[in-house]
Structure 1
Amino acid sequence: MKKGFLIAASCIGLSMISCKKNEDGNKNVIKADGTETILADNGKVDSTIHYNTDINGKKSVKTDYVYKASDGNLVKVVFNYDPKESTVSIRSNNKTFILNKVESKGNETVYEKMDMKATVKGDSLILDQGNNIIQLVKTKI
């Protein structure tokens, strides 16, 4: 009887120790963080820039998105937030256009190069090239 009680007590004790709940979570999961630190030209937080934060608090800038034009074409847009030079690269129909940031108002950023202008506001990107105006909307692909 004593042996059975000792075996049962030791099994219960071992199972309680070995089944400890891990509350750290998966360290490979990246959390989206709403805190933004890059400032626009007017000194306010630039809301057009989005960050991902890993479990250790390290921030990285999410730079590429897929936008959809009103005619259904998909366009790849890559934002470069290098402190030296901020650019946007727009790729569609095997052509790539790289525009330089000229102005940022906090919720709207303007990129230009020669006669092409891109205005980013929220989930929309408006391309203006001469008489052509193309409105793009960010997709969830």
Structure 2
Amino acid sequence: MKKVLLTATAAIVVSLTSCKKSENGNKSVLKSEESGVILADNGKVDSTIHYETDVNGKKYLKTNYVYKATDGSLVKVVFNYDEETMSVRSNNKTFILNKVESKGNETIYEKMDMKATVKGDSLILHQGDNIIELVKTKI
């Protein structure tokens, strides 16, 4: 009887000490940080901003995307969130637009007669009477 009780007690002690979880977690899993979240002009989180992170964990607030127009032409768009600008490059011409307004899920950039509205994966350019619809590609 003593052997059974001693064996059961030893098994319980071993199982309790071996199941102790580490509070540090898995070192190879990257944690997401909510600090440094950029807010839109209305105080809500700006969902149009996507961060790139380098090897050292530093966040870049400048991102490059390739958009495709309805006619099939490709346009390179660079968002520089530090300077609050967007540059559009097509046909060896670059247009730099300044951020005017952000509503959380939609951001508007303007310069002179050119206006760009970014919402999700779509970008709509207004230049005078011309409207150009662009969609983000997976290139």
Q: How big is the shift at 1:58?
A: 3.2
Instruction: Pick the aligned partner of 1:123 from 121, 125, 132.
Output: 121
Q: Counterpart of 1:63 in 2: which secondary structure?
A: strand
Q: How big is the shift at 1:130?
A: 1.2
**Equivalence for 2:39:** 39
RMSD of equivalent CA atoms = 2.5
**Equivalence for 2:49:** 49
- Kept in 1, the 8 Å contact 2:62–2:81? The answer is no
- Kept in 2, the 8 Å contact 1:127–1:133? The answer is yes
1:12-63 C-alpha deviation (Å, 9 max, x unpaired): xxxxxxxxxxx755xxxxx7x6957000000000000001345664322351
Residue type matched to 2:80 in 1?
N
Alpha-carbon distance in structure 1 between the residues aligned to 2:78 and 2:56: 26
Alpha-carbon distance in structure 2 between the residues aligned to 1:24 and 1:55: 15
Over 3 Å counting, the alpha-carbon distance change for 1:97 and 1:34 in structure 2 is farther
TM-score (norm 2): 0.72
Alpha-carbon distance in structure 2 between the residues aligned to 1:87 and 1:79: 6
Gaps of 5+ in 1: 1-22, 26-30
**Equivalence for 1:58:** 58
Q: How big is the shift at 1:119?
A: 0.2
Residue type matched to 1:101 in 2?
K
**Equivalence for 2:86:** 88
TM-score (norm 1): 0.71
